[in-house]
Amino acid sequence: MLIKIGFDIEFELPGPTPIILMLYVHPSRQADLRSEEIIRLEPEMPLHDFTDLYGNRCARIFAPPGNLRLSLEAMIEDSGEPDAVCPNAIQHNVQDLPDETLPFLLTSRYCEVDKLSDIAWQLFGQTEPGWPRAKAICDWVHHHITFGYHFADSTKSAFDCYNDGRGVCRDFSHLAIAFFRCMNIPARYATGYMGDIGVPVVLPMDLSGWFEAYLGDRWYTFDARHNKQRIGRVVMARGRDAADVALTTNFGRAILKKFLIISDEIAETPAPVS
């Protein structure tokens, strides 16, 4: 299937502001793009691309005072398959894990393994290691945390979410990630486009935060907020938690004026019959 993705974001900048942008599709999905991916800036200014420590494609700008508009529209091909499920996926012993997965076992800014370890082992210590344990954690978070956009708090951590019992998609993911790490399953945060393909329409569209866990020699997608397979996820960035994958990082004050996200399935035009 073809999916139209993009955004239209505006800020008001009181002064000259360096900004890091993480608004491209992740390099792992670049080959699926069917049109050029260009960030358009108003006013026009130099934009420098770079790759961060986690392999995410980023850019940086130095914006003048005033109104800044960032926009992009592109087409990407997707398999149309739901998130993969593998009930037999094993949990690896820590000593057998690939080196590159080890950072995703550790405490990070929003995922406090140290604070939640005893709680996690009390809740999930008797579950079967591997996929059953992963599912048990997602089920618990899904049923014990109340979702609401008005619960959004950029400073809320996994431990805060556990105690408060409320949050948005990033909070569901942070708490599940922390529990996975407590149980010695590598888990990393992911952000990207996830439209309403295959589910009842929910507007307005937004970018979503989910996570990936390493089981059975590969990374699998998990989503404690929705707790069901979804179609058409397009990952933009991955990291230890949301602190590593902020869409924009402003080194100065920036007032958000507009935030519009596009993630729509596009009907492909059938080839003419000769």
Q: What is the CATH number of the domain that holds 43?
A: 2.60.40.2250
- Residue 272 falls within a domain, yes or no? no
Q: What is the CATH number of the domain that holds 168?
A: 3.10.620.30
Please tell me whether residues 207 and 101 are part of one structural domain.
Answer: yes
Please tell me whether residues 236 and 138 are part of one structural domain.
Answer: yes
- Residue 85 falls within a domain, yes or no? no
Domain hosting residue 251, numbered range = 2-80+247-266
Please tell me whether residues 261 and 178 are part of one structural domain.
Answer: no
Please tell me whether residues 48 and 6 are part of one structural domain.
Answer: yes
Give the pTM: 0.93
- Residue 258 falls within a domain, yes or no? yes
Q: Residue 34 in contact with residue 77, Cβ under 8 Å? A: yes
- Strand residue runs (E) in the chain: 2-13, 17-21, 40-42, 48-51, 57-63, 66-77, 146-147, 166-167, 187-193, 207-215, 218-222, 234-239, 248-250, 255-266
Please tell me whether residues 71 and 155 are part of one structural domain.
Answer: no
Number of structural domains found in the chain: 2
- Residue 180 falls within a domain, yes or no? yes
Note down pLDDT in tens along the chain; length 274 residues: 999 999 999 999 999 999 999 999 999 999 999 999 999 999 999 999 999 999 999 999 999 999 999 999 999 999 999 999 999 999 999 999 999 999 999 999 999 999 999 999 999 999 999 999 999 999 999 999 999 989 999 999 999 999 999 999 999 999 999 999 999 999 999 999 998 887 776 555 678 999 999 999 999 999 999 999 999 999 999 999 999 999 999 999 999 999 999 999 987 655 555 5
